[in-house]
Every structure is written in structure tokens, then in C-alpha cells.
Amino acid sequence: MIPKRDLLSSPFTLEEIESARDVVRKSIKPTPQFSWPLLSERTGCEVFVKHENHLPTGAFKVRGGVFLLDSLRDLGSLNGLIVATRGNHGQSIAYAGRKAGIPVHIVVPKDNNSDKNRAMRALGANLIVSGEDFNEAMDFAIQHARKLGLLFVPSYHTLLVQGVATYAYELLTSVRNLATVYVPIGLGSGIAGMIAVRDALKLDTEIIGVVAKNANTYRLSFEAGKAISTDSASTLADGLAVRKPDSDALEYILRGVERIVEVSEQDLNLAIQAIFLDTHNVSEGAGAASLAGLMNEKDRQMGKRVAIILSGGNIDTLTLMSALSLKS
């Protein structure tokens, strides 16, 4: 097991977040946060985009992978790491594992994005296909770790959160007086990182979580105040496709998030299209979710300074072409 901490009783200090920033910057340059005029015109507010799609793996999670692998040096020699993923967590650990010289095994569900599979193999990972969805792939990965003596790296862990939080530090120290930030929720590391930095900087920025309507376990759990699982999580936003919330992430989200909004598959497609048209960037479904959430709440944010997190750009060609062909 990888040691972790309880962020509710022991939140990250600003010094700890800045220490993670120093580690991450050895491998990864900061990403920009741009205010695009056409996007601001579309949403009716001054909107900044945090471009995590500009990272080496095309998504924010690589920050967590780099920091976690650096932190594992004190554990001694490892037989290898194993993760379950829909793509971005796997690419993160594969990227960091290759730099550290540690073998990485990645378990993906049967219908996983073929482009993300290719990218993980290109990073040197051993790809294993098992399960109908992310949660079944995770169950297999945990069993396989025990069988082969591998270290299982979950998608949500406080070391990952500390590394991922560096994106929020860059945003919140570069763009002052943000009223609101919209953050997509997969298993929770991205939004947890935003909460950690907002609180460490003592800001009053509202944090709004965004989930897919077809994968809304965190919205249901947030409103119930306890974990609520769903029977399926079928959405084009594969980075959001989870059926069960992580218990630690949920407790942290309950304390630090203003609300969680749902977006439909149509909303996600139109947001992918809007990002392409207004910023000339390619976004995956999870990356476009925050814009979809903002577009659904335009009236609430009119005239305010708002940020959205373009968490990743790893979209397959057919899904992108389908989104771009829609009439808005």
C-alpha cells in the first residue's frame, strides 16, 4: 500500500503545494490559462481556460504521476506498478514509470479508447484488457497486483492530489479574483487539487463540480451526503465514467465544493465543438465537461470572471468528427 493522509484533518499547506510544484516542474512546464474572446462572448462572462491539454500526455494527471513516482523513491525497489484506467491515469503512470525505470502494467476495460491504448503502449506500458467498465478493470488490477507482487496505484490518492494540485496553483496565482471555477469529476483528484489550493491560498472562489448525466455517481452522492453507486457509466466522456465514488474523495468534495452539475451527451458534444471553434483546441469529453457546465449555468455567471479546466485533449477521431458535425 502507498501511504496516504486524511486531507480533512491534515490539509496541504501552501509550502507543500509549492514543494510539489518544484518537483513537477523538473519534468513538466506550466500550462497556460488564456481568456479567449469568442468563448467569453459565447458564455457571457470573462472566462479563462486552463489548458491541461498542452501537457506531454495530453492531460492533467501526468502531474500526479510524476510527483507520486518521485515520492515512492523511499519505498525501495519495486517489481512494478499496476493501474486501472480509461486512459489518462494510465498514461500518467506510464510516463512517470518510464522516466523512473519502473515497469508499468495497465488494465483497461474492453471498450476502451483505442487511441489512448496506443498511447499507453507507446510509453512502454504492458496493456491488459479486462472488464466491462472502469470499476471491473480496477477489481482485476487489484487482484493482479496481489498475484504478481506489484504495487497498485489507485486513480485517487493524496500523493496524486498533491501533484495534480500544481495546475490549480498555476491558475489561481495567475488569474486573480476568480468568482467561480468549473472542474470535471472523474474519480476526484482534479477537483480535490483545486479545493486544496483554493483553501491554502485562502480564496473565496466557488468550485463547481461537473459530471456526465450518464455517469452521475458523484452528483447523487453529493446530494445524498453519502456514497451512491450507479449501475452503469456509459458516456463519451470516458474520463468521467465511474460507477462508484472514492470514499476519501467524496468526503473532501462534500466539504469543499459549492455544487455539482450534470451535463448531457449533447452538452458534451456541443462543448467539444465550441472549444474547437472558439479556441482552436481539441478537447476530450471530460475536458469539455467544465465548459458544458458553465454553458448550462450562463445566467448564474453573467458578467463574472470564471475559469474552466480543459483537463485533457485525448479524444478519438470519430468522436471529434461527430461533435464537429453537430448543428449548434
Q: What is the pLDDT of residues 106-128, one digit of tens each?
A: 999 998 988 899 999 999 999 99
pLDDT (tens digit per residue) in 48-72: 999 999 999 999 999 999 999 999 9
Cα–Cα separations (whole angstroms), residue 43 to 40, 86, 207, 254? 5, 30, 18, 27
Please determine, for residue 77, whether its predicted confidence score (pLDDT) is greater than 80: no
State the pLDDT confidence band at 309, using cuts at 50, 70 and 90. Answer: very high
Average pLDDT value for residue range 68-84: 87
Average pLDDT value for residue range 23-40: 97
Give the mean pLDDT of the chain: 96
Give me the pLDDT at residue 170, please.
98
CATH class of 62-152: alpha beta
Please determine, for residue 220, whether its predicted confidence score (pLDDT) is greater than 80: yes
State the pLDDT confidence band at 293, using cuts at 50, 70 and 90. Answer: very high
Predicted model pTM: 0.95
SS3 183: strand
CATH 3.40.50.1100 at 14-60+158-324, yes or no: yes
Amino acid identity for residue 71 in this structure = S
d(CA 150, CA 146): 7
Percent of the chain past pLDDT 70, that is, above it, reads: 99
Give me the pLDDT at residue 79, please.
87
Give me the pLDDT at residue 322, please.
96
Average pLDDT value for residue range 38-44: 98
In the chain, the largest separation of any two C-alpha atoms, in whole Å, equals 56
Given this chain, do its domains 14-60+158-324 and 62-152 carry the same CATH topology? yes
Give me the pLDDT at residue 74, please.
72
Cα–Cα separations (whole angstroms), residue 153 to 64, 149, 252, 290? 11, 13, 20, 26
pLDDT (tens digit per residue) in 253-287: 999 999 999 999 999 999 999 999 999 999 999 99
- Which sequence spans correspond to the domains of the chain? 14-60+158-324, 62-152
Give me the pLDDT at residue 271, please.
98
Please determine, for residue 75, whether its predicted confidence score (pLDDT) is greater than 90: no
Is the CB of residue 92 less than 8 Å from the CB of residue 49? no
Q: What are phi and psi of 72, to 5 degrees?
A: -80, -5
pLDDT (tens digit per residue) in 190-214: 999 999 999 999 999 999 999 999 9
Give me the pLDDT at residue 78, please.
80
Give me the pLDDT at residue 2, please.
87
Give me the pLDDT at residue 169, please.
98
Q: Which residues pair with 51 in a beta bridge?
A: 310
Average pLDDT value for residue range 289-315: 98
